[in-house]
Structure formats: C-alpha cells, structure tokens
Structure 1
C-alpha cells in the first residue's frame, strides 16, 4: 500500500507549528515549531526530509487553515518546491474535532494533520492564483481600507457640528484636508484596479462581460473575479449563490420543527453586501427588474426575500454572459420552434 506523509501546519503571524506522521504509523507524531519566514521555511523543508521515512516529496500532503496573508508566503514556497498543499476552512476543521478541552498551537497542528489523514479523499489541492489576481486582491483590499478611513473621518467631522466652532475649527480643517487626500487616493486605487484588469486580456474580457449585467459595477466585478479566481472556481451559479449567502435552506426536523426557509449566515459577507447593493441599483434603474420587484411586492412577498431573488437573478446572468462569451442583452429574439 502506498504511504503518504501528512503535514499539519498551524499558522500565526510569527510562527509555524508543524506536526507530521505517515499513513503507516499514525500514532508516531513528530512536532516542531518554525518561524514564519523564508529562513523558517528552509528549516521546515530540511526537517521534513529528515523525518519523511523515505516517502517521496510527491506523496507529501500538507494541510493548513486559510489564514490569508499569514499563509501566502508559505503557500508560494510549498508550490515552488512541488509540495502538495490544501487550504481548509478553519470552522470545518474545528467541527471535525469533536469535544475538545483546552487549546494549544501544538494540539491544533496535530488536529490539522489528523484531519488531512481522515479526509484524505476529500481534500482539494490548493494552487496559487495568478499574479494578476493576487495584485488585484491587494489593490482591492487597499481601496477598502481607504474607504473605511474616509467614512470614519467623515462621520467624525459631522459629529463635531454640535461643538462650538472655535473649539473644533482646527480639527475640522485638518479632517477636511485628510478627506480630500483620501478621496484622491481612492480615485488612484480605482484607476489601479482598472489598469490591473486591462493588463490581463482574459480578466478584462470577463470584467467587461460581468459589467454588462444591469446593476453590476467595477468594484463588484473586480471582487467577484477575485473570489471566483477569474470565474473558474465555481461550476454553476447555484454554487456561487450558496457561497455568497443568496441560497435559501430549509430548517425542519420531524413533526415539531418547522423553521422558515432562509439563507445561511455562513457566507462571504463582503460578496453578499456587494450583490445586495447591485440588486438595489438594479431595481432602481433597470425597468425589467424594477417591474419584477414591484410585482412580487404586490403579491405579498417580503422586500428582503424579493431582493434576494434579484441577487440570484444577477448571479445567473453573470454566469450566463461569461459562459456564452456574450454581453448581456435586454431583449432576446425568440426563435420559432
């Protein structure tokens, strides 16, 4: 029987806690801690080669939680060395543990290694996104920070209107200067995002197709391309609707529990918010969706339920235009049967 080396990595900003064992000796667990840096990665690789018991590097299975930027450098290193890796949802790993008392980094990395062994057949290999998508993600995150700072300063400036003018005049003047600077930086970020999309012909094509759907703007299109890896990670619109919190689920059991069918809180909330704003934009300015919304409200449907249906319609249209490689058309000519 083929042997595998299972590697569980618990990642923090400064350190990597690593536990390993082979499929032929699952109780013989080795543990070591390394720094989360290039030097630490090289030490980790050297240690793995010493403890792998002759198992080839192609049969190593590294598993870790998705920690965003903390794991990015390690992901790049492992991919460069040809080491198979999987990024798993932290909540999914936690719920696989059963009843646990206490918590340490050493115990956590052992749990991750055991998770990789137990769900070996369900693990999906993680491959880094393209350089353009990584750049786009960094630019989008920077824009989000700038918008957040602008909003905080704007609210702070408005809250000072109740103070006597002579007490806060200098503060308001300083804030106004910062607001102008941040507004300019947000425009620069928008331009950088546009240039990043234009640098990749495929992403530019898909972005243009997505933005042809009524209600979808540049920011929604950019973030959608980021989370879907250029519209390659989700096979169907329904899968993406589930990911973005637009798919309703039943809540029933036996004869006593008859909960409402509703969307689940486990979703990408940023994507859900952007789709929500797109849906509001669509029912405001698009005649077809505006008429649909008003008709459903007249039928007695709840506003948020109808808005969720509009969100799903937008998702279906996005996937359709990308699949067909054809911009959205308001009117389609029906062919005779």
Structure 2
C-alpha cells in the first residue's frame, strides 16, 4: 500500500514526540493509551486525514517503551513501522544537535524518503511476545549467575575460607536462588510453547536436529516469529551475523571475506555454542570439521560454515514439516 501521510515519533519513557511531515508540526503526548488516542485526534485535525488507511506512523524500536504504542496501533488497525535506530542514524547523514522533536522530525523525513520501500511492521502473536520477554529475562539471569560464579571462584582461590565464610555463603545462596528462578522461567517457556500448537510443532522439529536443544529452539522461534519473519535461511544468517561478506574495492583493497559485527549477538552466541557442540558430538559434522582442519582450513571459518549448516537445517525441517533425518547412519 502507498502512504501519503508520514508521522515520525520519538518514543521516551513517559512521553512521545510526534512530527507531521511536510506540515512541519510537532507535539508531545504521554506514552500511554490516552496519549495515543490524542495523537490520532491531532493527526486527523492538522494532517487533514479523514481516513487513516493511507497514514503510517514510524518510530524506533526501543523495546518496552515502544511496544505499548505498537500494540495500540495494531489493535486500532493503524499502519506503523518500527525501525532499527542504527538504520535511521546511518541514513540521515551528518547532523548536528539533538532533542526529541528533532529526532521525531528526522524519523518522519526518513519515512518519506523511503516511502516506496517502507514496509509496515506486523506484530507477532501474543505467545511469541511472551516468549521473547521470558527468554530475555532468562538470558539476564544466566549472565548474572555466571558473573557471581566467576567472582566466587576467583575469590575462593585468593581468600581464606574460614575468614570469609559468610561472604562465600552469600555467593552460594545467590547462585542457588538464581538457578531456581532460571528453572522456573524455563518451565514457563515450556508452558508457552505447549499452549500454542504451531509453536509446539516447530519446536519439536527443531529439537529433532542433533545438538539443537530447548533453549536454542525457543530462541529461534521467538527471533523468527515462528519462522514467518524471514523468507529463507540466508536472510536469517545475514541478520544473525553468520553470513560472510566480501571486503574489496578496486584493485588495491582485497580483504578477506568476513562476517559483519551488526548482528543479533544473543542468538549468534547460542548458535555458536551449538556449532562447537556439533563438532564434538554430531558424527557427520565432526567428520566434516576434522577433514577441513586437516586440509589446513581455518578453524573459525569452518565453525562458521557449521553454524550456517545448522541454520539451514533448522529452516529446512520447519519448511518441510518433518523431523531431521540423519542420513549418515544409513550410509554403507
């Protein structure tokens, strides 16, 4: 659909700043349902938009602060685009000065300049949104537990056990409590997966692949919106940061092909850990890894190939609708 009215919105914790493109009009609203309703009334009045079907509201994806606006617009059938902040920043060139109203104006300008290719955002199902929140919290708790365990281990080597017994007991209690909470979160994640038949089926297909465990499967489902967000595995590999890109210019610059640092680092880390596990416990990939390394190939590039093989297999089993078949055990 072609849009003719573009609204840029800068989202903050308590307020949102909106800018009507071409009319050069800005206003601040509260970041709640009352403020969102006032925003639409203001747009109808000053934007001369009797119908909101050709209106699109653009704003940066700021996590918990922008999700309320996104859900409200989704429920009221207003087109909106949640855009990565880096994408907007890199597209507007050299700019000086910054405040919320200027940011809203720049977002509106970005939307208008890219009006031919701008795509409205489609929110995932509520189950996916809940799964994303639970996985985010789990990742935070796992990182906190790892930090406490590392500090406890190092201090235990350097300090006297008897003199610092009380402190070590606190470390032990913290690690134990975090482990309990992580287990509770994992049970909630499992319950969300079990409550949705489509998610449950894809989860079972993913875990049929050797070395792909429950956490990676859940993260893949959440990240890909149950495999509806990406049309093929190559696009996901680009998003997650495992796709290699050329680095050359003219005849003088011919760098090595390498992956980009712009990626979803959490999912990339999980895929990397699974790839390391596959090199040791997946018979087929273990043979492949050893053969390439024996031929003098770079170890990290080989692991990256295995990461992409795993991504391709995860997309394949979901698209095919059948569990992974290990052909190696049938080989003569």
**Structure 2 unaligned regions, length at least 5:** none
Match of 1:266 among 249, 252, 262: 262
> Which aligned runs of 4 or more in structure 1 are off by greater than 4 angstroms?
none
Is residue 5–residue 55 contact of structure 1 (8 Å, CA) maintained in 2? no
Stretches of structure 1 that go unaligned for 5 or more consecutive residues are: none
Alignment of 1:48 onto 2:43? yes
Report the counterpart of residue 19 of structure 2 in structure 1: 19
How far residue 41 of structure 1 moved from its aligned partner, in angstroms, is 1.6
2:187: which partner in 1?
191
1:182 Cα offset (Å): 1.2
Alignment match of 1:140 (pick from 118, 135, 140):
135
Mapped to 2, the partners of 1:3 and 1:280 lie a distance apart of 47
Which of 149, 152, 164 is the aligned partner of 2:144?
Answer: 149
**Paired residues, number:** 328
CA contact (8 A) 1:160 1:168 kept: no
Is 1:279 aligned to 2:275, yes or no?
yes
Distance of 2:3 and 2:11 partners within structure 1:
25
Indicate the residue corresponding to 1:6 in structure 2. 6
The answer to whether the aligner puts 1:62 opposite 2:34 as a matched pair is no
Residue from 284, 302, 308 that aligns with 2:304? 308
State the superposition RMSD in angstroms: 1.6
Q: State how far apart, in whole Å, the 1-side matches of 2:3 and 2:154 are.
A: 65
User: Hey, what's the Cα distance between the residues in 1 that align with 2:122 and 2:47?
Assistant: 23
Q: Once the 2 structures are TM-superposed, how far is the Cα of residue 3 of structure 1 from its aligned partner? A: 7.3
SS at match of 2:256: strand
Rounded Cα–Cα distance in structure 1 between residues aligned with 2:207 and 2:3:
49
Distance in 2 (alpha carbons) for counterparts of 1:172 and 1:268: 35
Structure 2 CA distance for aligned equivalents of residues 98 and 145 of structure 1: 35
Distance in 2 between residues matched to 1:188 and 1:310, nearest whole Å: 32
Q: CA deviation at 1:209?
A: 0.5
Question: Which is worse superposed, 68-77 or 34-43?
Answer: 34-43
Counterpart residue number, 2:153: 158
Paired with 1:86 and 1:62, the residues of 2 have a C-alpha distance of: 6
| 1:167-206 correspondence runs (5 A) | 167-206=163-202
Specify whether residues 116 and 278 from structure 1 end up closer, same or farther in structure 2 by C-alpha distance, changes over 3 A only.
same
Residues 99-248 of structure 1: matches in 2 within 5 Å?
A: 99-161=94-156, 162-248=158-244
Task: Give distance in 2, aligned partners of 1:67 and 1:305.
Answer: 34
Is the partner of 2:116 in helix, strand or coil? helix
> Which position in structure 2 is the counterpart of 1:80?
75
Shift of 1:45: 2.1
C-alpha displacement at 1:54, in angstroms? 3.6
In structure 2, the partner of 1:290 is 286
Residue 36 of structure 1 deviates from its aligned partner by: 1.4
Please give the TM-score of this superposition, normalised by the length of structure 2: 0.95
